[in-house]
């Protein structure tokens, strides 16, 4: 059986190891579902320079399952959120650790973590495609979701001038729609007759027969 720790113990370990190089540390627990099972999460912000060291430290605790690398366009910065689970599969033991890395749009680069977690390359390729963050050292930089002829320097998840321009937006519902066909009239719905509820039947008496 793997040795586990509480979310606060995990957060304290990172504070001891990295000091001021980790920030915005939050330990949260919410309960979901009918059984109200605990969902435990530790959030922290790390620099892109410390990203691989942070992932390596997490691996030294328990090799994590990488759920996803999420991304958000926040003005001058792009936030990358690395969702990793340790003690994965342990009953009520799993802890989600989220490393937030803030990447400036003026220098949109982040190092790959695929040397530590090989499967990360697929999510890293997605970030290059969709939000325009260059992943330095990625072993496979091919596009993963966008076609090869997709315009350069346009990223579907961006909210600025590098996002999808109006000229690329197609109203697919208009494609091949006949223009010489009259609009069919919309029939008025038939009124629904309201039925009165039937009176409840009296239950038979449980007394003995005479």
pLDDT at 189: 77
The CB-side HSE value for 199 (13 A sphere, CA atoms) comes to 3
Q: How many Å separate Cα 75 from the centre of its chain?
A: 19
Closest CA to 69 of 56, 59, 57, 55: 55
Average pLDDT over residues 93-107: 96
Task: List the domain boundaries for the chain.
Answer: 7-164
Give 174-210 pLDDT, tens digit per residue. Answer: 667 667 777 766 677 788 777 777 776 766 665 555 4
Give 6-62 pLDDT, tens digit per residue. Answer: 999 999 999 999 999 999 999 999 887 888 888 899 999 999 999 999 999 999 999
Give the predicted TM-score (pTM) of the model.
Answer: 0.79
**139 φ, ψ (degrees, to nearest 5):** -75, -15
**DSSP output for 89-102:** TSTTT-EEEEEEEE
Q: Long-range contacts: 83-87, Cβ < 8 Å, 24+? A: 84/55, 84/58, 86/10, 86/58, 86/61, 86/62, 87/2, 87/4, 87/62
Average pLDDT over residues 155-164: 96
Residue 149 binned pLDDT confidence (cut-offs 50, 70, 90) = very high
Averaged pLDDT of the chain: 89
DSSP summary character for residue 4? -
Average pLDDT over residues 119-130: 98
Identify whether the C-beta of residue 96 lies closer than 8 Å to the C-beta of residue 67. Answer: yes
Give the DSSP H/E element, type plus range, for residue 69. Answer: strand 65-74
Domain 7-164 top-level CATH class:
alpha beta
The three-state secondary structure class of 105 is coil
Average pLDDT over residues 165-172: 83
Comparing 8-12, 119-123, 169-173, the range with the smallest average pLDDT is 169-173
pLDDT at 49: 98
Give 136-147 pLDDT, tens digit per residue. Answer: 999 999 999 999
Q: Are strands 95-104 and 77-86 parallel, antiparallel or unpaired?
A: antiparallel
pLDDT at 160: 96
Six-digit token pair at 16?
A: 């001891």
């Amino acid at each position: 059986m793997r040795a586990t720790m509480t979310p606060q113990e995990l957060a304290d370990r990172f504070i001891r190891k990295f000091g001021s190089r980790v920030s915005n540390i939050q330990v949260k627990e919410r309960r979901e579902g009918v059984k109200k099972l605990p969902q435990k999460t530790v959030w922290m912000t790390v620099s892109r320079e410390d990203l691989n060291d942070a992932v390596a430290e997490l691996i030294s605790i328990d090799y994590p399952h990488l759920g996803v690398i999420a991304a958000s366009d926040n003005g001058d910065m792009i936030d990358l959120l690395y969702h990793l689970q340790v003690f994965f599969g342990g009953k009520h033991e799993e802890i989600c650790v989220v490393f937030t890395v803030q990447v400036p749009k003026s220098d949109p680069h982040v190092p790959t973590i695929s040397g530590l977690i090989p499967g990360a390359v697929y999510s890293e390729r997605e970030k290059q495609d969709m939000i325009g963050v260059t992943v330095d050292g990625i072993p496979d930089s091919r596009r993963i979701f966008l076609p090869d002829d997709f315009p350069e320097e346009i990223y579907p998840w961006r909210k600025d001038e590098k996002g999808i321009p109006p000229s690329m937006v197609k109203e697919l519902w208009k494609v091949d729609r006949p223009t010489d066909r009259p609009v069919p009239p919309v029939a008025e719905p038939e009124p629904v007759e309201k039925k009165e509820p039937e009176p409840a039947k009296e239950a038979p008496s449980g007394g003995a027969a005479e």
